[in-house]
């Protein structure tokens, strides 16, 4: 991942544990992750219309060693994720609320909140008002294209 701020200089490499938007969120919390590629399911429970997935990281390169994920059985979207250390200590909790159909087959929570026992009394909130599916050429996702990123709007 790279952070590019126009008129500041060259792009800066960032990790999934860093937060570039401030608050309690970090990059791994807000990017679309492929949980199946990064985690193994240790066990699944069914409770009150939800699946509760207990996930364990496949490698040490991911942001969280363990994840406990609540998934709506009908909509197949997460409603809550607890991020845990190897010793099962809670690092943060993400809440996915107000699931909306944004059109074009995109059904997602429109509100994402996170809190952490390390930041008592604080929470971060992201509100998505509009999502639009777009196709981009592969070259858009290169470092050399970053100075032209405004042309995509």
pTM for this model (two decimals): 0.78
What are the residue ranges of helices labelled H in the chain? 27-30, 35-38
* pLDDT of 22 strictly over 70: no
Q: Whole domain around residue 36: which residue ranges?
A: 2-131
Band (pLDDT 50/70/90 cuts) for residue 23 is low
Residue 30 lies in a domain: yes
Assigned token pair, 41: 């399911």
- Flag whether 147 is in a domain: no
Q: How many domains does the chain have?
A: 1
Give pLDDT, residue 2.
67
Per-residue model confidence (pLDDT) at position 27: 60
User: What is the pLDDT of the chain when averaged over all its residues?
Assistant: 84
- Asked, for residue 149, whether it belongs to a domain, the answer is no
pLDDT for the residue 29: 63
User: Nearest to residue 110, comparing CAs of 124, 120, 125?
Assistant: 125
> Is it the case that residue 41 has pLDDT exceeding 70?
yes
CATH number of the domain enclosing 112: 2.50.20.10
Residue 145 maps to a domain: no
**pLDDT of residue 120 exceeding 90:** no
Distance CA 24, CA 48 (A): 29
């Amino acid at each position: 991942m790279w952070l590019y701020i126009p008129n500041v200089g060259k792009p800066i490499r960032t990790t999934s544990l860093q937060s570039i938007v401030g608050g309690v969120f970090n990059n791994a919390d807000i990017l679309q992750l492929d949980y199946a590629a990064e985690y193994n399911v240790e066990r699944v429970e069914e409770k009150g219309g939800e699946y509760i997935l207990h996930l364990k990281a496949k490698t040490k390169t991911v942001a969280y060693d363990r994840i406990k994920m609540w998934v709506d059985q009908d909509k197949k979207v997460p409603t809550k994720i607890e991020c845990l250390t190897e010793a099962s200590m809670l690092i943060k909790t993400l809440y996915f609320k107000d699931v909306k159909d944004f059109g074009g087959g995109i059904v997602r929570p429109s509100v994402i909140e996170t809190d952490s026992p390390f930041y008592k009394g604080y929470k971060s909130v992201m509100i998505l008002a509009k999502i639009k599916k777009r196709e981009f050429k592969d070259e858009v996702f290169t470092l050399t294209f970053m100075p032209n990123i405004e042309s995509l709007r």
